[in-house]
Chain A
Amino acid sequence: MNGGSHSLIEVRDLTIGYGDHLVLERITFEVRRGEVFAILGASGSGKSTLLKHLIGLYQPMQGDVLISGASLVHAEGEARLRILRKFGVLYQGGALFGSLTTVENVRLPLDEFTDLSEVAKNLIALSKLRLVGLESAATKVPADLSGGMQKRAAIARAIVMDPCLLFLDEPSAGLDPITSAGLDALIRELARGLGITFVMVTHELASIYSVADRVVMLDPKIRGIVAEGAPSWLREHAPQPWVRQFLNREVA
């Protein structure tokens, strides 16, 4: 649904941390429209912290995050809301509301942000559930869904407002390999079919090789990006040995 080939996200000279503790210093990278982009790194390298800055939950110490050319760091009020509506977020646990059914969870953003009729909202919510293969679980509550189903329902909720960008925080965490592969297939399908750009933080190498077009690797020692490129290329040709070890899952 989105044309053009220029960058959708531009991270410029971003410095992030907590209090006096620096996590990442002056990092710069871009995410192109329509690609599946992964943020990789060892535990404690700042992947999740970076993601929280990309979605505007935290303010950086320095630098900027531009989404479709608009600064998320400096935007306020209505302008910030306009940027926030461009993307959806899948949190690690799904973050579905336990008191609502699956279809009510999915249609919640439609209830809050549109004037559509009940019929229209239900049709749209059900179509998103069908896209993620959960049409038969529409009336179930999250407690009755498995971990993988909860993640798929959360994706359905994240795409209900037709965002051009989806952020995924550890999408495969806690899932068995088959469910995880199913989720990867769904990400590929949504990226190709709907042209959604994905930015994911993950540890799962299998997922990265399966879906990611490009990755950045974070290194806690240099508090920055140590490598950037296609995952299969980096696995063979990355100049840093530990990047190759990481991507080949070898013991250092």
Chain B
Amino acid sequence: MAVEPPVDLSVRWNLSVRPDGAATLAFAGELDAVSTPVAWPNLEREFARTKVVSLEIDARQLAFCDSAGLALLYYISVGGMTPGATVTLIGLSPEFQHLFRSFSAEDFRALQKHPPTCSFFVEDVGAATWSWLSDLRQQVEFIGEVTLGVIRGLARPRLLRWKEILRVFEIAGVNALPIVSLLTFLVGMVIAFESAQPLAQLGAQVFVANLLGLTMTRELGPVMAAIMLAGRSGSAFAAELGTMKVNEEINALQTMGLSPVQFLVVQRVVAGILLTPVLTIYAMYAGLLGGIPVLLGLGFPLRMVLTQIQSSLHFGDLAEGLSKSVVFGGIVALVSCLRGLQTGEGPRAVGESTTRSVVSSILLIILADAIFAAVTYSLRK
């Protein structure tokens, strides 16, 4: 019985099997990365239909053979397609011998045996808890170290490197003004639109101004400014410090006897704490400016809108908003710098620490905001 291959291939083969199970497989032409993927399954099907006891592979007529072709020859020669049969390979050109000898069934079996990387649920929970506790400990240590750095800086202002603080002010503050303006302006507008209808049903549409003033001052001004700071500048802090860690600049500072926290973190934290209230006041105004056109559109005169806003706000509301912003600014700067310094090794590490900095910052901002809400509510009662 003889089996012929498909006709339009650069390689030709002829498989002939005698009744006693002795077979010959003769190749001719070019067995390369294009012809091998076609030849391989065809040959597997042909061998599956026959019972082969011994096989001789004849490669004398092979004009060219690349690694893909040699992989096929090797696979057949180790009985991959004829389990239990005796297989011999003859006539392989000496120029292919060197590559052919590099194939190894032993390596292949070792790769197949390699256990997949999976772990038990309990092990995962334990590892995650341990990692969370270590992270918590690092955060506490870090906060302590930064606080000490700030105190040292206040005692010796030269240590604070004011030039660097001003640079951070410019990058994280001044350069962020356009985006903060746009977003909070639109948020103010949305609040005015969304609250106008339900309040109109109660005949209290004029109180949209009060609502706008209170939400922007107490809540959305500080939260929006902090989230923007986390996404825009916190991620930049983490990426900058992470890259310095990968490039061994942090190690260089340490070996020079300089504290990376004092040298790199304290300035960013001081800048973050001083900058966020300013950004928050700006966000409050932008939000109010966004809501006012909507109220004017609803038919309320500007004077009335401003009076409503003024009457609804007290110093305590502004103090609440600003005190939140100080805490949020500290959180963003601290967390971003910590994530930056925690950067591991490898090209993905910086990206990972940047993502972690944004996620942790936003999470902690919302957590702190919830605590503020509960505390101020009980104080107002």
Q: What's the least CB distance linking A33 to chain B, in Å?
A: 14
Residues of B within 8 Å of A127, CB to CB, are 67, 70-71, 74, 99, 102-104, 107
| In the complex, A4 has a CB within 8 A of chain B | no
1/0 per residue A91-120: CB within 8 Å of B? 000000011000100000000011111011
User: Which are the 7 A-B pairs with shortest beta-carbon distances?
Assistant: A115-B37, A193-B98, A127-B102, A126-B107, A123-B71, A98-B346, A127-B103
B residues less than 8 Å from A131 (CB atoms): 99, 102
Residues of chain B within 8 A (CB-CB) of A103 are 111
A194 at interface, CB cutoff 8 A: yes
Q: Which of B66, B95, B110, B346 contacts A138 (CB 8 A)?
A: B110
Known contacts A98-B347, A116-B37, A194-B99; is A126 also within 8 Å of B111 by CB? yes
CB-based contact B66/A162 at 8 Å: yes
Cα distance A252–B198 in the bound complex, in angstroms = 87
Within B31-88, the residues touching A (CB, 8 Å) are 33, 36-37, 40-41, 66-68, 70-72, 74-75, 80
B279, chain A: closest CB distance, angstroms: 37
Residues of chain B with a CB closer than 8 A to A116's CB = 33, 36-37, 40, 68, 71
Name the residue in B41, B102, B345 with the highest tally of chain A Cβ atoms < 10 Å from its Cβ. Answer: B102
Besides A113-B33, A128-B102, A139-B114, 8 other A-B contacts (C-beta < 8 A)? A116-B71, A119-B75, A122-B108, A123-B71, A126-B108, A127-B99, A138-B107, A138-B111
B381 at the interface (CB under 8 A from A): no
* Cβ-defined contact, A130 with B107, below 8 A: yes
A99 and B103 alpha carbons, distance in the complex (Å): 26
Distance in Å: Cβ of A58 to nearest Cβ of chain B: 22
Contact partners of B74 in chain A: CB under 8 A = 123, 127
A residues with CB within 8 A of B: 1, 98-99, 103, 113-117, 119-120, 122-124, 126-131, 135, 138-139, 143, 160-162, 193-195
- Is B348 on the interface with A (CB-CB < 8 A)? yes
Q: Which of A1, A114, A126, A194 contacts B33 (CB 8 A)?
A: A114
User: A129–B40 contact, CB under 8 A?
Assistant: no
B346 in complex: contacting residue of A117, A122, A143, A194, CB < 8 Å: A143
CB nearest neighbor in A for B105: A123
B293 to chain A minimum Cβ distance, whole angstroms, is 49
B104 contacts A135, CB within 8 Å?
yes
The total of chain B residues at the interface (CB under 8 A) is 30
Q: Is A114 within 8 A of B37, CB to CB?
A: yes
Given A117-B40, A130-B102; A139-B111 close (CB under 8 Å): yes
Closest to A2 in B: B95
B34 → A minimal CB distance (Å): 8
- Which residues of B lie under 8 Å from residue A117 when comparing CB positions? 37, 40-41
Residues of B close to A130: CB separation below 8 A: 102-104, 107
Bound: A124/B71 CA distance, A: 6
13 pairs from A and B in contact (CB 8 Å cutoff): A98-B347, A117-B37, A122-B108, A123-B74, A126-B103, A126-B107, A126-B111, A127-B74, A138-B110, A143-B345, A143-B346, A161-B67, A195-B95
How far does the Cβ of B352 sit from chain A's closest Cβ, in whole Å? 11
For residue A189, which residue of chain B has the nearest CB? B98
Q: Are the CB atoms of A114 and B68 closer together than 8 Å?
A: yes
User: What chain A residues lie within 8 Å of B111 (beta carbons)?
Assistant: 103, 122, 126, 138-139
A162: B residues at CB distance < 8 A: 33, 66-67
* Least Cβ–Cβ distance between B311 and chain A, in angstroms: 59
A162–B70 Cα distance when bound, in Å, is 12
Q: How far is the CA of A128 from the CA of B102 in the complex (A)?
A: 7
In angstroms, Cα B26 to Cα A51, docked, is: 44
CA distance A127 to B70 in the complex (A): 10
With CB as the reference atom, state the residue of chain A lying closest to B33.
A114
Complex: how many Å from CA A161 to CA B33?
Answer: 9
Tell which of B40, B98, B114 touches A194, judged by Cβ atoms closer than 8 Å: B98
Chain B residue with the shortest CB-CB distance to A93 = B347
Q: Using A116-B33, A143-B345, A194-B98 as known contacts, say yes or no to A124 and B67 having CB atoms under 8 A apart.
A: yes
How many Å lie between the Cα of A194 and that of B96 in the bound state?
A: 8
Cα separation A55 to B247 with both chains bound (whole Å): 27
Those of B90-132 within 8 Å (CB) of chain A: 95-96, 98-99, 102-104, 107-108, 110-111, 114
Check B102 against A120 for contact (C-beta < 8 Å): no
A120 touching B99, Cβ below 8 Å? no
A182 to chain B, nearest CB (A): 17
